[in-house]
Amino acid sequence: MIGMARALWLCSLLSAAALAAEPSPELMKRLADWADRTDPSAVATAVTLGTVSHERGTDGSLRHTDESVMRMTQGPDGRPISEVISARRDGKDATEEARKQAEARAKSQKASEKEGRGLRGAPTPFTSADQPKYVFELLPPFPDDPAMLHLGFRPRQPGKRLFAGDAKVDPEKGAAVWMQQRSSELPPFVDEFSMELDFRAPSAHGPLLSAMRMKGMGGLPLFKKRFDVEIRFSDYQLASAPPEGAAR
């Protein structure tokens, strides 16, 4: 009896997936154009990051609060250069220590060649390079914002930096306004990881990433902890002129 119920449940899931409406190719192309031309690694030469992070116990109790303001600039060789403007830990100034840590990370990354070129933004499924890795579907509209499209996405195969989630898309601009996503493949010692993104920084290229909120839990079995981080992006400096007709 249980086997029959499970089979019926699986059939209903498969039927629902088969009936899910796919977004139009035109919409997906417009999203790819927007995502490609607003990718920070391709278009931004500098941006300011305001970060607030909380380290918590597995029960949610607060252990530490870190706040910082940092200016990221693309260097002559294409590598990002970080300038720590200010930093505080648990309400106390920690600027000099944060600057030392940033300098040590830069030296380590340069020696190991791990740091890529350009300023990195948040991963999204909408770039022309990433869309083929995903399945997209139209979801029921947002009750409080029915003019926006509700788009679901999931990777065809789980992988690193591939996520499943949903997005609010402005059909007139062909751009995402908001999205939330969770990892499809977690790295070692990470039990949970998800992020929420806002694209509300206007530019001639289209809406840019304005905020990223992340939360998760991980660590060794006896030393697990939770964390939540919010990063605000502002004062973008862009490298090139946008193409004609780019929606702001």
> Which pTM value belongs to this model?
0.82
What is the reported pLDDT for 187?
87
pLDDT, tens digit (0-9, with 9 covering 90-100), for 171-209:
999 999 999 999 999 888 999 999 999 999 999 999 999
pLDDT, tens digit (0-9, with 9 covering 90-100), for 151-169:
999 999 998 889 999 999 9
Whole-angstrom Cα distance, residue 26 to residue 96?
50
What is the reported pLDDT for 13?
42
Whole-angstrom Cα distance, residue 229 to residue 197?
12
What is the reported pLDDT for 241?
63
In this prediction, the residues of the chain whose per-residue pLDDT falls under 70 are 1-20, 110-120, 241-248
CB-count burial class (<10 Å; 0-12, 13-18, 19+) for 131: middle
What is the reported pLDDT for 16?
45
Whole-angstrom Cα distance, residue 85 to residue 189?
32
Domains of the chain: 21-238 (2.50.20)
What is the reported pLDDT for 42?
78
What is the reported pLDDT for 93?
97
